[in-house]
Amino acid sequence: MNKQCFTFILAASLTVGAAWAQVEKSAVKDDFKPSELNQPGQEYPQVNSQGYVRFRIKAPQADSVRVSLGLGGRGGTKLTKDPEGFFAGTTEGPMDEGFHYYHLNVDGGTFNDPGTLNYYGSIRWESGIEIPAHDQDFYQLKSVPHGHVQQILFPSKSTGTSRRAFVYTPAGYEKGNKRYPVLYLQHGWGEDETAWSNQGRANLIMDNLIADGKIEPFIIVMTYGMTNEVKMGKIREFKIEPFQTVLVDELIPYVDATFKTLASRDKRAMAGLSMGGMETRTITLNKPDVFGYYALLSGGVYSLEDLKDKTKPKLVFLSAGSKEKPDGVRNAATALKTAGYNSVSYVSEGTAHEFLTWRRSLYQMAPLLFK
């Protein structure tokens, strides 16, 4: 395993997700609205049209409440107590468009914001907030036919457990005998099999692409990549074999036996974000006859050397956010293309190592699969 595949993973802690400095403090617009991820009836947190976030937390006897969201290197956003016992405050600048994880520090302890829904990241359920993106239409819940997201529990002899996966089946899947290609789609470090549906909105992105006639329907399978058995700093110690066994020898046969799949290499893709990209890269190179399409989303690159003397992939898709130093992705795709591979790169403008990069990557990648 070479070093290249870790580049984007380690970048996670370096990219801040904030688009500071364009707006003068005095020019903060007073059009704050409750975040669309708030729990029912909750007024805070709020987001304005520029991407500033305003928090309000009840803790009348607390001395200090901080929010991890904001200027990362300087400890996020410090809230100040008002006479009613609420700690309130606004980020110093606008946040990047899209989804962000965060949490509170209340008198030295880590808690979630009671105003918002929680999302699994950092090996815990974290608070989430959504800054409406200018291109958010593609991942919105619309009045179109919707696929289902099925929670399955599949038997795994190698781990001695019933393991969970989520399976997106496109609208109309239940009718007739049509069979579908399958994309195996992996989350990143600290996340799990819930990430692509919850934070990623993969099902809504697919529903919209299908309704718009931009892709032929396919199935997506999302399971836990066993990535979180190692701590952030020790990711190099991660061993791929246990997950590769679960995925290739247990999950794929279960899915092919249970769902109406096209069970061949040319109709099977693997993609992953961040550390899920590292998994994708390693497993596709170990098992070039199992998967025909490879995609790394902020998750490294393939070199010519990697692919030499192996069954040729039908597509290599590489993506990153523009704030992640995406030249590596662009250059790798160009090198592969020059050497005769079907390779495509995509750079998400104005985003960092976060979920809007990956939602957009799925949206760009889906029409290229299974051609």
Q: Which residues bind a second copy (CB under 8 A)?
A: 39-41, 57-64, 85, 104, 106-112, 114, 117-118, 123-125, 141-143, 146, 148-155, 162, 167, 174, 197, 203, 228, 258-260
Identity of the residue, 29 or 58, whose beta carbon is nearer to a second copy in the bound complex: 58
Identity of the residue, 58 or 310, whose beta carbon is nearer to a second copy in the bound complex: 58
Identity of the residue, 145 or 367, whose beta carbon is nearer to a second copy in the bound complex: 145
Identity of the residue, 20 or 125, whose beta carbon is nearer to a second copy in the bound complex: 125
CB 370 to a second copy: min, Å: 22
Helix or strand (DSSP H, E) at 331: helix 327-338
Which token pair is 368? 């290229």
CB 269 to a second copy: min, Å: 22
CB 147 to a second copy: min, Å: 8
Identity of the residue, 23 or 62, whose beta carbon is nearer to a second copy in the bound complex: 62
CB 336 to a second copy: min, Å: 37
Identity of the residue, 146 or 287, whose beta carbon is nearer to a second copy in the bound complex: 146
CB 124 to a second copy: min, Å: 5
Q: Which long-range contacts (CB under 8 A, 24 or more apart) does 159-164 make?
A: 159/242, 159/246, 163/223, 163/224, 163/246, 163/250, 163/251, 164/193, 164/223, 164/224
CA distance 229 to 240: 11
CB 190 to a second copy: min, Å: 10
On whether the CB atoms of residues 22 and 51 are closer than 8 A, the answer is no
Each residue of 39-67: b (16+ CB within 10 Å) or e? eeebebbbbbebbbbbbbbebeeeeebbb
**Which residues are registered as beta bridge partners of 67?**
77, 104
CB 355 to a second copy: min, Å: 19
On whether the CB atoms of residues 188 and 276 are closer than 8 A, the answer is yes
- CA atoms lying within 13 Å on the CB side of residue 217: 23
Residue 212, SS3? coil
CB 130 to a second copy: min, Å: 17
Identity of the residue, 118 or 158, whose beta carbon is nearer to a second copy in the bound complex: 118
Cα angle at 243 between 238 and 244, to 5 degrees?
110
CA distance 259 to 306: 32
Residue type, 371: K
Identity of the residue, 22 or 110, whose beta carbon is nearer to a second copy in the bound complex: 110
Runs of H (alpha helix) within 129-274 = 195-198, 202-211, 241-244, 252-258
